[in-house]
Structure 1
Amino acid sequence: MILAVDVGNTNLVFALVDGGKIKARWRIATDPRRTADEYSVWLHQLFELEGFSRDDVDGVIIGTVVPRALHNLKVLSEKYFRKTPLVAGQGDAAWPMALEVDEPHNVGADRALNVIAAHARHDGDLCVIDFGTATTFDLVTPTGAYAGGIIAPGINLSLDALVSAAAKLPRIAIEAPATDSVIGRTTESQMIIGIYWGYVAMIEGLAARMKMEIGRPLKVVATGGLATLFDKHTDAFDAIEPDLTIQGLSLLYDHAMRSPK
């Protein structure tokens, strides 16, 4: 069993993965200042609640888009799990696929991991949409290469910016509107409509433009916590894979273990 660590800009996810199957997962707010000792105390309690121990972990792999968080996670792995961690995109865990972009060194680990997992689970040209701090659209070729994409503000980021810049607007929960009408009768309903249907329009519009540009059938794979929320009101998604990044970490770990040293 491996411990896969996915460090995003907003949240950090620890997952125990055995044979490609996620046995347990835990989420915590990303904080680069959090020490290895703090992680250990928190994880120890969660392991026990789920019936696992540190001895069950055979290896550790870390994928991060927050470089400052990496040091303490390496210390956690080495001090408390007695394992030298693999770091996604580095050393033995270098990316196994082509990065067909102008700045391959700037491709986020989460996006590369999503590409690995999406290609392993689906054939043909793919568009992977990840609803995270940013909303990203990633183009995957039939050979599994990453061929570029789109970065848009995440829905929570957009909502925070709107509320902070407009003094009279209330903070609202992100949810589907109560009706299909796009004409709100209250300030809150108008905000929900703008955020929700605005994102649906962006999703459908950008996916359609990507399909038109490549000129071939394109399967759209959605991941991230908000994918299921939007799936209720759009036909843009062909598949939803909620754990794509963790699956990518597991696949990358297996690839690294099989590769000759």
Structure 2
Amino acid sequence: MLMAIDVGNTNMVFGLLEGETLVGSFRLMTDTNRTSDEIGLTVCEYFRRFNWTTDQVCDIIIASVVPQVMYTLTSAIVKYFGKKPIIVDDDVSPGIEYDSESHLGADRSVSCVAAMEKYGKPLVVLDFGTATTVDALSDTGRYLGGCILAGIRVSTDALFQQAAMLPQIELVCPDSVLGLNTIAQIQAGSVMGYIGAMEYLIRQTKREMGYGQDVKVVATGGLARLIADNTDMIDVVDGQLILDGLRIIYERYKREQKE
């Protein structure tokens, strides 16, 4: 099995893959105060629950946007799995071509690699995480640019924290933009407003790409389904995109080592 780890700002996602099949996955909060033993013992407990052993893991590959946890995470892997992990950008390049000297974060480049492999090109890739990102890829696979905005949960949390009379809300899309109480009105403004913003960004991205409006749009991330279910501008929701991208990059890396 290959263990693929996506270290995000909010969660670390561990995926276990046999070939192209995801046979198991779990999440840990991304906590810079967690020790290597806490990580290692938690992962081992997951293995025991499903009658797996750490010896079944052939390799481990990581994409991370949180440098502060990497020493602890790497130490846990070495201590409990006896392996040095392969780290995207440090040990292996995702292989994205750029029109400038700009450089994507590991999670975004890995998502782009997987999206092109699975859905073709040209492409718009959305990632709804702590931040929401939009990335554009040409018909030859070159990175054309993108944008970053605060994630919907970050936005609503900021509203709750900065406005004394406004409550925290559940992120659901209401039936009407005209809410009849405070919660419904915040949901309408936050969720439906966010959908409107994403539709504008998608339309403008396609316009600037120059391929017309028939470019496929692929979304991933924890809140991708909420947005995609309420717009017709997202073609595919793929919650496994980063884990598949890590697998694809790992397989290419192993082939290159043999050549």
User: Same fold per TM (> 0.5)?
Assistant: yes
1:231-242 counterparts in 2 under 5 A?
231-242=228-239
Displacement of 1:71 in angstroms is 1.0
| Pair 1:119-2:86 in alignment | no
Contact 1:24 1:50 in 2 (8 A): no
Q: Distance in 2 between matches of 1:48 and 1:100?
A: 47
Q: Deviations over 1:24-43 (max 9, x none)?
A: 11111101222221111111
1:5-16 counterparts in 2 under 5 A?
5-16=5-16
Q: Distance in 1 between matches of 2:155 and 2:101?
A: 28
Contact 1:9 1:65 in 2 (8 A): yes
CA-atom RMSD in angstroms: 1.3
Contact 2:88 2:94 in 1 (8 A): yes
Q: Deviations over 1:227-248 (max 9, x none)?
A: 1122221101111111111111
Q: Distance in 2 between matches of 1:51 and 1:100?
A: 47
Q: Distance in 2 between matches of 1:51 and 1:101?
A: 48
Contact 1:115 1:144 in 2 (8 A): no
The number of residue pairs the alignment matches comes to 256
Q: Distance in 2 between matches of 1:52 and 1:201?
A: 45
TM-score of the superposition, structure 2-length normalised?
0.95
Displacement of 1:210 in angstroms is 0.8
Displacement of 1:51 in angstroms is 2.5
SS of 1:193's equivalent? helix
Q: Distance in 2 between matches of 1:51 and 1:194?
A: 47
Aligned to 1:37: 37
| Pair 1:200-2:195 in alignment | yes
Q: Deviations over 1:84-110 (max 9, x none)?
A: 11001123x122221334332xx2110
Displacement of 1:50 in angstroms is 2.1
Displacement of 1:4 in angstroms is 0.8
1:96-245 counterparts in 2 under 5 A?
96-104=95-103, 107-177=104-174, 179=175, 181-216=176-211, 217-245=214-242
TM-score of the superposition, structure 1-length normalised?
0.94
Q: Deviations over 1:6-65 (max 9, x none)?
A: 100111111111102111111111012222211111111111112211011000111100
Q: Distance in 2 between matches of 1:101 and 1:148?
A: 9
Please tell me the residue identity of whatever aligns with 1:99.
Answer: Y
Contact 1:63 1:88 in 2 (8 A): yes
Which consecutive residues of structure 1, in runs of 5 or more, have no partner in the other structure?
none
Q: 1:167–1:12: structure 2 CA closer, same or farther, 3 Å change rule?
A: same
Displacement of 1:169 in angstroms is 0.2
